[in-house]
Structure 1
Amino acid sequence: MADFFYYDAVFKCCKQPYRIYAGSESFQALKENKQAPIVCDDCSDRIRFEAIMNFMHGARG
């Protein structure tokens, strides 16, 4: 079994440990901007949903 190159990181929102493997989309994003917050899929979905709800709420009134 081959060892893969990876980074050990911690999700910004939920503070869960995460392993980012070379070649993944998350790895490319981390290489481009190391200061960007890393969020898991669940947190990303929740953030997007809250943004949509805030936009819809703001558009009403």
Structure 2
Amino acid sequence: MTTYKAQGQTMQTVIVDLESCTGTESPYVMVSWVTSLSSLLILRPFQCKRIQCRQSEDLR
């Protein structure tokens, strides 16, 4: 299922592949679908830069 199609839904179990994500919104949306952390499975190890974004100029 794509991120776009599942947006706004709640699911009992979610399996995500964070390594294949682009942007920071997509990982947030995928992880927010699941009702509990025990029902979240991250498919494979991922680089932290996949879920981080640069600080704005104002915060720097």
Normalising by structure 2, what TM-score? Answer: 0.26
Greater share of residues in helix: 1
Rg larger in structure: 1
Normalising by structure 1, what TM-score? Answer: 0.25
Greater share of residues in strand: 1
